[in-house]
Amino acid sequence: MVDLEFKYKNLIEKIQEEAPFKPEIALVLGSGLGEFADRIDTIKSIATHDLPDYPESTVQGHKGFIHFAEHGGKKLVIFQGRLHYYEGYSISECILPPFIAKSLGCDTIILTNAAGGINPNLRVADLMVVNSFFTMHIQKALTELMGVASVDQKNAFLDVPALVLGHKFVQAGLDEGIALKEGTYWFQTGPSYETPSEINMLAKLGADAVGMSTVHEAVYAGINGMKVGIISCITNAAAGMGHEKLSHKDVMETAELVKTKFERLMKRIVEII
């Protein structure tokens, strides 16, 4: 088990020094959804490369900023740029956003991501409230966060990942007239997209959407007592479910299309949670 307090002592000291206030809510922006940070009242922005021991995000569409912002009387910390397991980072690096959020005193975290739609009811540009997820591909690596001693407890946490904000997300969607879908997210390590046969298998196992992030952040936040909610932006039909060849460029383009809807939803969520 990695001692995160020890590993990131300098980083946390620096960010606590720089933070203009104690945030209540953290928001992690997924692939292509980063522009939201430019559409909210930002009080202060910190480039992650100015923080000691903060790894560089190498993926296009992940900028590497931590913003402190306010909306609807709530104080937010927004992570624009995420670290992915497929970039070669360890779990203790990938969970830096929720770790920082927790260290700054946030009790709530909203995780967003881009995902491929497996369930045929999901359309490109839909927003899906994640009500459960699969962590099979990352279970061993998760021991970095919780050790190997309490196996029962670990499995219980993984099965019940504290996704307690979903009903508020649905309410925010109703308030804004945005029809949200709901479903189960399957984590793939990536970086390559799945084959049609793999997607066929995942559909049979009960996955509604597939992506390459988020679940470890949710597990970390959940086991550390934070309220967690996840929204997936369905950026493409998963392999074999549509006719397009999958590409990160298309993922980014769809995320661009949903940005107004996403902004309205996120702002409303922040107002009501």
Among 33, 77, 104, 115, binds ligand HPA (CB under 6 A): 115
Could you give the count of Cα atoms lying within 13 Å of 181 in the half-sphere of its Cβ? 21
Structure tokens belonging to residue 52: 């000691």
Give the integer Cα–Cα distance in Å for 167 and 13: 35
Residue with smallest beta-carbon separation from ligand HPA: 116
Task: Report which DSSP code applies to 30.
Answer: -
Residues in the chain: 273
Which C-beta is closer to ligand HPA: that of 127 or that of 162?
127
Q: How many amino acids of this chain bind ligand HPA (CB under 6 A)?
A: 14
* 188 counts as binding ligand HPA under rule CB under 6 A: yes
Helices (H) and strands (E) in the chain, counts: 11, 9
* 95 counts as binding ligand HPA under rule CB under 6 A: no
Which C-beta is closer to ligand HPA: that of 25 or that of 218?
218
Which C-beta is closer to ligand HPA: that of 224 or that of 232?
232
Secondary structure percentages of the chain, helix, strand, coil, to 5:
40, 25, 35
Smallest separation, CB 6 to ligand HPA (Å):
33
Smallest separation, CB 92 to ligand HPA (Å):
22
Q: Shortest CA distance to 270 belongs to which of 132, 109, 30?
A: 109
Smallest separation, CB 135 to ligand HPA (Å):
15
Which C-beta is closer to ligand HPA: that of 72 or that of 191?
191
With contacts defined by CB under 6 A, name the span among 47-55, 62-70, 135-143, 205-213 that binds ligand HPA: 205-213
* 238 counts as binding ligand HPA under rule CB under 6 A: yes
Give the integer Cα–Cα distance in Å for 148 and 267: 39
* 116 counts as binding ligand HPA under rule CB under 6 A: yes
Give the integer Cα–Cα distance in Å for 133 and 247: 23
Peptide bond preceding 191: is omega within 30 degrees of 0, i.e. cis? yes
Give the integer Cα–Cα distance in Å for 258 and 261: 5
Which C-beta is closer to ligand HPA: that of 93 or that of 194?
194
What is the separation of C-alpha 176 from the centre of its chain, rounded to a whole number of angstroms? 22
Give the integer Cα–Cα distance in Å for 249 and 252: 5
CB 208 within 8 A of CB 118: yes
With contacts defined by CB under 6 A, name the span among 4-12, 14-22, 137-145, 232-240 that binds ligand HPA: 232-240
Encoded one letter per residue, x for contact with ligand HPA by CB under 6 A and - for no contact, window 207-226 reads ---xxx--------------
Smallest separation, CB 122 to ligand HPA (Å):
11
Give the integer Cα–Cα distance in Å for 260 and 262: 5
Smallest separation, CB 183 to ligand HPA (Å):
14
Which C-beta is closer to ligand HPA: that of 221 or that of 251?
251
User: Which residues contact ligand HPA (rule: CB under 6 A)?
Assistant: 114-116, 188, 193-194, 210-212, 235-236, 238, 246, 251
